[in-house]
Structure 1
Amino acid sequence: MSTEPATPPEEITIPEEWHSLPSDPNYKFPGYCTFKYRGATMSSTHLQWGVMQQLEQFRGRSSDIIVASFPKSGTTWLQEIVWRVTHHQSMAGEKGPKTCLEYRFPLLEMQSQEKLMEMASWADMTDQRFIKTHLHYHMLPESVKTSEAKVLYVHRDVRDVCVSFYHFSRMINVHKYRGTFADFRDSFMRDALMFCPYREHVKGYLEHSDTVLCLTYEQMHQDRGSVVRKVADFLGVSLSDADVDDIVKNTSFEVMKANPDTNFRQWEDSGMVSGTEEGTFMRKGMVGDWRNYFTEEESEAFLKWRNEEVASLE
């Protein structure tokens, strides 16, 4: 593993507050590199596309609904639950809204994607806005916190997060990660992966659970009905038992993986991901897949690291 700082593409001007991190030869996409910005690890794409400058233009609204998470923690699942809770009257019995999730929930920290995908900008949306983000809590625009926007956060067993993120990084073509799982796990623990540090990410949202609805991937597996009701209560939506049952039915992993509105198969068509042995965007959707990747000793060490006290990045 190289200890030399990454050399970003020549066209990128590095602002003073962005600090280059050591390069990782396991990423095979040309020019991919990472930076530390406000305590978080961000990619060359975020820098090159001026993401943080764009966020300065964001103005939160009281009607905004924002689903946040560390990558591969159940974001897509919670997004679809939120959408169906808020649109249950128009979607009763429907398998999908006929619009893919990516268009219904634009990514807060990648405003430039709207231009590439011919999507509406969140700045131009006149209806209620549904937004997705992987940003740390302290990096959210201040207007999100002062506007009374609704923020929901989902987190997951860190071992399963690491496994799922590993396969995602191998699959997505702007990463093309080709290291071993052990390499990836060690980078995860060193906070070298995009959107790390993981522990501070989770802590930042949990510390604001008085205003943020915090849920877990495991809860959505074990009792999705109770999660649907919690989401509805948090968003001020009234649901009948039949509504809850319908939402639970249509947000099962099997249904969502078969649904073109939620399975992100359009990423394969666009060339964003490669259909490889890594599988599709929605891979297994299970609890405990980490057992196929961690030995008992490795799992114990990883959990010990996870449970160490960390400082807030506020």
Structure 2
Amino acid sequence: MEPVCERQRRMEKPRKKFADIIEKAMVAANTMDRDELLFSYKGILYPVTFCSPEVFKAMESLEARSDDMILAGYPKSGTNWLGQILSDLLVIFEKKTQNKESSVNDEELEEFPYLEIGDTGKYERMNKLPSRRLIFTHLLPENLPRSIFKNKAKILLLLRNPKDVATSFYHFTNRMSPLPSYETWDDFFVAFMTKKMPWGSYFEYLSKWNKYANDENVMTITYEELKENPVLGVKNIAAFFGISLTEKELQSVVERSSFQSMKKNSQKTHGAFGDVLFRKGGVSDWKNLFSEDQNEKMDKAFEEHVGGTKLGAKLKYEVYCKA
């Protein structure tokens, strides 16, 4: 049987790999012009130092499993935060089930959980990973491997209000050389509203995922509700993935995944990139950037694209996005 400490040790490896991937991407991007940083695949822009058409084609070879723990979310919606929660829940699950140690070579287990970032051989390695697997992604549902839906893998869909997503994305891109930077917030806002962002349009993302809002294998949670009541949020997430928690375990996960705790440990978990990744972690930071005209444009776009939808209602736009 595999000791829990061994599982925790193994889960540290993808974090180191995360830091290595980011560092290499930043070094490569420093030698590139701004217009060389993104490429288009099926009409959506992606960073060339993280993704490639060859990787997207190879991704179809991934064999999803019904016990996979998949986290989907648009960039800057809080996927690293929720990823920490899922990692902690998986450690608890392993402790309780005491899965037998896999015969797979330990070196093969060093896999970065973001599905679309890596090399073409990544998916063959993922197919050898023992259950349960953590998989994170920013992709639209139609760009995911078909086996995810065919094999009824469980998907946790994370949403965040568009104004805070845009604000966080703006600060993030200006500190990440693999992504195009912007001289002003106004320039960034135009790009955000005109589908020129890495991983595509926020509103298209919500619209496409809304088609799966009633799927029994998809659970939707918002950044804001998790901030307001992390205990209830973690409890519901654990139940969705079939993981039972004691009150002590629940509190431990909540404490370890708090923004303060993650920011404090960011250098250890994400290297030099930690300071970029964990900036504020709050709600309503958009009020420091949005002009009245930009507020009106965002309000109109939200209503046009997701007004009246289940995901639109879930976001409580009137509560979090009105001045």
Assess same fold via TM > 0.5: yes
Retained in 1: the 8 A contact 2:266–2:278?
no
With over 3 angstroms needed to count, the CA separation of the structure-2 counterparts of 1:248 and 1:233, relative to structure 1, is same
Q: Which residue of 2 aligns with 1:214?
A: 220
* Contact kept? 2:46, 2:199, Cα under 8 Å: yes
Matched, 1:58 2:54: no
User: Normalising to structure 2: TM-score of the pair?
Assistant: 0.73
1:32 aligns with 2:37: yes
Matches within 5 A, 1:1-314: 28-29=33-34, 31-37=36-42, 39-45=43-49, 48=52, 50-88=54-92, 106-112=113-119, 121-209=125-213, 210=215, 211-260=217-266, 264-267=270-273, 280-309=276-305
Q: Contact (CA 8 Å) 1:41, 1:197: kept in 2 or not?
A: no
State the 4+ residue runs in structure 1 displaced beyond 6 angstroms: 89-92
Q: Gaps (5+ residues) in structure 1? A: 1-26, 93-102, 269-278
**Structure 1 vs Structure 2: percent identity of aligned residues?**
30
Alpha carbon RMSD of aligned pairs, Å?
3.0
- Residues 146 and 213 of structure 1, relative CA distance in 2, 3 Å threshold: same
Please tell me whether the aligned partners of residues 59 and 120 of structure 2 are also in contact (alpha carbons under 8 angstroms). no
Alignment length (residue pairs):
263
For residue 71 of structure 1, what is the amino acid of its counterpart? Answer: P
Deviations 1:232-270 (A, max 9, x none): 1100111122221221111110001112487523437xx
Contact 2:38-2:45 within 8 A present in 1 as well: no
Q: Residues 237 and 90 (structure 1 numbering): CA distance in 2 closer, same or farther, change over 3 Å?
A: closer
Q: Structure 1 CA distance, aligned partners of 2:147 and 2:81? A: 26
Q: What TM-score, normalized by structure 1, do the two folds share?
A: 0.75
Query: Match of 2:99?
Result: none
Aligned partner of residue 157 in structure 2, secondary structure? strand
Distance verdict in 2 for CA 1:266–1:128, change over 3 Å: farther
* Residue deviations 1:210-241 (CA, integer Å, cap 9, x gap): 22111100011100111111111100111122
**Residue-by-residue CA offset, 1:103-142 (whole Å, 9 max, x unaligned):** 6752111232988xxx994233234211111100111111
Task: Say which is worse superposed, 168-177 or 157-166, in terms of deviation.
Answer: 168-177
Q: Distance in 2 between matches of 1:124 and 1:90?
A: 18
Give structure 2 stretches of 5+ with no counterpart.
1-31, 97-109, 310-323
SS at match of 1:225: helix
1:162 is matched by which residue type in structure 2? A
